[in-house]
Homo-oligomer: A and B are copies of this chain.
């Protein structure tokens, strides 16, 4: 109903912002829905045919879209050209883990073109940067160059200050106050952006996964190191005043309960953790992928009781989130998804009736490519915000 018009740069030219905003709008549609007939773009955006002609021409000139011959038609009337996002424009995704680095090449629409997992025991930052830079060079070593690279998106398991791309703390990797985007930029000559991995996982699910098409979404992800999450409201990522919103891991689910490393007691993260569940079914940390299956098939009554107890606690956190945020869906990922699938409990029960209407609890839909897509979204998001302003600088 209402569209948003983002201001391009600091540049003046308010009439110019119109074109920038329209370029952004159209490219966003292509990114989200893939190849689309020009006539449909015209309808959806609600501008005149002549204007849309100019916009598509601009996008073609920028090399961001291509108009191909009309697809097979079904109705009468002159067929409309199919506008597709450029297939040679890519973002590079990097996700450092404790024992490996994931590196990917992702195009428009969350299309993962390449995905490599490079094992390494060395998590020191210079080493990781070097390894990643070499891998990236390898991926792009076509002659003539096959891809136009927009930049690098980094999914970091830790706190990241978005404004300048500095890793404040990534405990598992032993990084503190590292200007990681600058390091990657220097090593590769590409622009780089970084954000928290859980946030990016949500972003991926929201755009192309379980949250596709939803405007209001709560995301909860459970991993070895705790519980993270994020919130999308009215189609936009909730950041909070300091950028630290979405800490569902520290929702109180049992006042006076287990002490949490945050200094509180009874936090969701302290009360419901992956290690306890793994132990109950005899799995190691590396086998976390099998958790859902084991929890479901186990015939041990102790396991059933544990699932029941933990999912009740998760239910309290979900309930609070529903009452406060009234989203369309709650998406569970990681071991929380396993817990949810193993339990018969309706996690929305006992929420205020009006907030339960039409709420759905879903499991994450994107598999191992979740983070590659999320990290790439970080880069594509920059492009989509102002397509004409993004490119000339690269």
Using CB atoms and an 8 Å cutoff, list the residues of chain A in contact with chain B: 1-7, 12, 14-15, 17-18, 21-22, 46-48, 51, 159, 215-216, 231, 233-234, 236, 238-248, 250-255, 262-265, 316, 319-321, 323-328, 350-355, 357-358
CB neighbours (8 Å) of A327 from chain B are: 240-241
How far is the CB of A233 from the nearest CB of chain B, in Å?
Answer: 6
Q: A269 to B231: give the CA distance in the assembly, Å.
A: 24
A263 touches B350 (CB 8 A): yes
CB neighbours (8 Å) of A245 from chain B are: 324-326, 355
CB neighbours (8 Å) of A17 from chain B are: 5
CB neighbours (8 Å) of A2 from chain B are: 6-7
A325 touches B355 (CB 8 A): no
Other A-B contacts than A241-B326, A242-B358, 14 sampled, CB-CB below 8 A, are A215-B241, A216-B241, A233-B233, A239-B326, A240-B325, A240-B326, A242-B354, A243-B326, A244-B354, A245-B324, A247-B326, A251-B324, A262-B350, A265-B350
CB neighbours (8 Å) of A12 from chain B are: 46-48
For residue A6, which residue of chain B has the nearest CB? B2
Q: A48 to B353: give the CA distance in the assembly, Å.
A: 51
29 cross-chain CB contacts under 8 A? A2-B6, A2-B7, A4-B5, A5-B17, A5-B21, A15-B18, A159-B354, A216-B240, A216-B241, A234-B239, A238-B325, A240-B326, A240-B327, A242-B357, A244-B354, A244-B355, A245-B325, A245-B355, A247-B324, A247-B352, A247-B355, A248-B323, A250-B352, A251-B324, A254-B255, A262-B352, A264-B319, A321-B324, A324-B325
Q: Given that A5-B5, A253-B255 are contacting pairs, would A241 and B320 also be in contact in the complex, using a CB cutoff of 8 Å? A: no
A250 touches B6 (CB 8 A): no
CB neighbours (8 Å) of A234 from chain B are: 236, 239
How far is the CB of A238 from the nearest CB of chain B, in Å?
Answer: 6
Q: A75 to B242: give the CA distance in the assembly, Å.
A: 38
Contact of A328 among B18, B47, B241, B358 (CB under 8 A): B241
Q: A308 to B79: give the CA distance in the assembly, Å.
A: 72
Q: Given that A251-B324, A252-B319, A328-B241 are contacting pairs, would A47 and B351 also be in contact in the complex, using a CB cutoff of 8 Å? A: no
Q: Given that A240-B216, A242-B358, A325-B240 are contacting pairs, would A252 and B47 also be in contact in the complex, using a CB cutoff of 8 Å? A: no
A250 touches B351 (CB 8 A): yes
CB neighbours (8 Å) of A351 from chain B are: 250, 264
Q: A51 to B253: give the CA distance in the assembly, Å.
A: 55
Q: A250 to B357: give the CA distance in the assembly, Å.
A: 16
Q: Given that A159-B354, A328-B241, A355-B240 are contacting pairs, would A252 and B320 also be in contact in the complex, using a CB cutoff of 8 Å? A: yes
